[in-house]
Amino acid sequence: MAMMTYLDAARAALAEEMRRDPTVWAVGEDLGRGGVFSQYRGLVEEFGPERISDAPISEAAILGAAVGAAMMGTRPVVEMRFSDFALCAVDELVNQAAKARYMFGGQTRVPLVVREPMGMWRSSAAQHSQSLEAWYAHIPGLVVVCPSTPADNKALLKAAIRSDDPVVYLEHKHLWPLEGEVPDGDHVLPFGQAAIVTPGSDLTIVSWSAQVHVCADAVATLARQGVKAELIDLRTLWPWDKETVLASAARTGRLLIVHEAVQAGGFGAEIAATAAEHITARIRRLGAPRAPIGYAPPLEDAVRVQAPAIVAAALGLVNGRQLG
């Protein structure tokens, strides 16, 4: 075990995979300088500019070229720096990368990782703050990953790089400096395996990405009030670990899904609907209001799902009050 930041864990994962497999390479804007968040620090020195490749500001061409290179059997890791910018390349991802394997009858695969740092990050306003994971989860052919801890960021990025299908890899910008224990060695997590962060018997809370940590605060508050919440970190949105979530919710009889993204049409809706179809439980979702993210701190805070709201929703479920 080593203490590592979320950022360095991903950096280590990429470096280890590049050492292990000469077909792995990375491309994006400003990678040679270490990337905008310094997630690529030191890598060009080790691997050279052919493999840590700087690109002009041309997201569509970067991603499209990576799809082509992936079809030829190399494993590009594409850096989009903010998930908002990746929208400039959505055709290449959704119409090309996600469809190729199926549409061409299995003759080609697209082993591509698209890194898209997501989420709210100090006053970044409407075009640099979005959480769009549900969009990608909606697209057949894409794997969607949302790691919340340094250990997961290392193990899941390795899994993403080894995946033979395209992966949308959503790191949360707010988590870059988060420190945590990371297992030594070549630790790789399978997709679709949730983590039970805190076991509990009174209700099940499901979350992912940075929101897991806010939920953990809420769970601690609930514990002080005698409510034992089970907190599940989904880790990957597609595939998602239905078994773990449904088993937990069936046991506790109460399911609360919490995400930073806009609540309407969010991935919470998919989980809630699936639970409603398969088990008997009281279900509630919490997400952001359907409003763009404002710059001024009071407006930014107003769209955050904060611990008191989670506690209130959890208590509402546990006490069986009428849900508003």
Partner 1 sequence: MAQPADTKKRGKARAPATKNAGLGGNQPGLTKDELLRGYRDMLLIRRFEEKAGQLYGMGLIGGFCHLYIGQEAVVVGMQMALGEGDQVITSYRDHGHMLATGMEARGVMAELTGRAGGYSHGKGGSMHMFSKEKNFFGGHGIVGAQVSLGTGLAFSNRYRGNDRVCVTYFGDGAANQGQVFESFNLASLMKLPCIYVIENNKYGMGTSVDRATASRDLSLNGAPWGMPGVQVDGMDVEAMHAAALAAVAHCRAGLGPYLLEVQTYRYRGHSMSDPGRYRSREEVQNMRSTRDCIEGARHKLESLGIEEAQFREIDDSVKRIVQDAADFAQTSPEPDVSELWTDILLEG
Instruction: Give the residues lining the site for partner 1 (CB under 8 A).
Output: 29-30, 33, 36, 54, 56-61, 84-85, 87-88, 122-128, 264, 289-292, 294-299, 302-303
Q: At how many degrees (to 10) do helices 307-318 and 211-224 cross?
A: 50
Taking the least distance from each CB to partner 1, the nearer of 127 and 201 is 127
Smallest gap, in angstroms, from Cβ of residue 316 to ligand TPP? 40
90 contributes a contact to ligand TPP by CB under 6 A: no
230 contributes a contact to ligand TPP by CB under 6 A: no
Strand partners, 205: 231, 256
Taking the least distance from each CB to ligand TPP, the nearer of 84 and 152 is 84
267 contributes a contact to ligand TPP by CB under 6 A: no
Q: Nearest to residue 50, comparing CAs of 65, 32, 68?
A: 32
Q: Nearest to residue 317, comparing CAs of 278, 277, 272, 274?
A: 272
Distances from the Cα of 7 to the Cα of 34, 95, 296, 314, angstroms: 12, 30, 27, 32
Distances from the Cα of 69 to the Cα of 65, 102, 140, 203, angstroms: 6, 18, 21, 46
Any catalytic annotation for residue 128?
Answer: yes
Distances from the Cα of 115 to the Cα of 82, 153, 163, 209, 234, angstroms: 9, 12, 14, 14, 18
Taking the least distance from each CB to ligand TPP, the nearer of 6 and 85 is 85
79 contributes a contact to ligand TPP by CB under 6 A: no
Determine which residue in the list 15, 61, 65, 88 makes contact with ligand TPP, applying CB under 6 A.
Answer: 88
> Which position's Cβ is nearest ligand TPP?
85
Do 60 and 91 form a contact (C-beta atoms < 8 A)?
yes
Burial degree of 40 (CB within 10 A; 0-12, 13-18, 19+): buried
Smallest gap, in angstroms, from Cβ of residue 59 to partner 1? 8
Taking the least distance from each CB to ligand TPP, the nearer of 249 and 293 is 293
92 contributes a contact to ligand TPP by CB under 6 A: no
47 contributes a contact to ligand TPP by CB under 6 A: no
Determine which residue in the list 6, 37, 40, 85 makes contact with ligand TPP, applying CB under 6 A.
Answer: 85
Greatest CA span in the chain, whole angstroms? 60
Smallest gap, in angstroms, from Cβ of residue 317 to partner 1? 22
CA angle 170, 97, 235 (to 5 degrees): 25
Taking the least distance from each CB to ligand TPP, the nearer of 30 and 179 is 30
Q: Which residues are catalytic?
A: 128
Q: Where on the chain is the footprint of ligand TPP (CB under 6 A)? A: 29, 57, 59, 85, 88
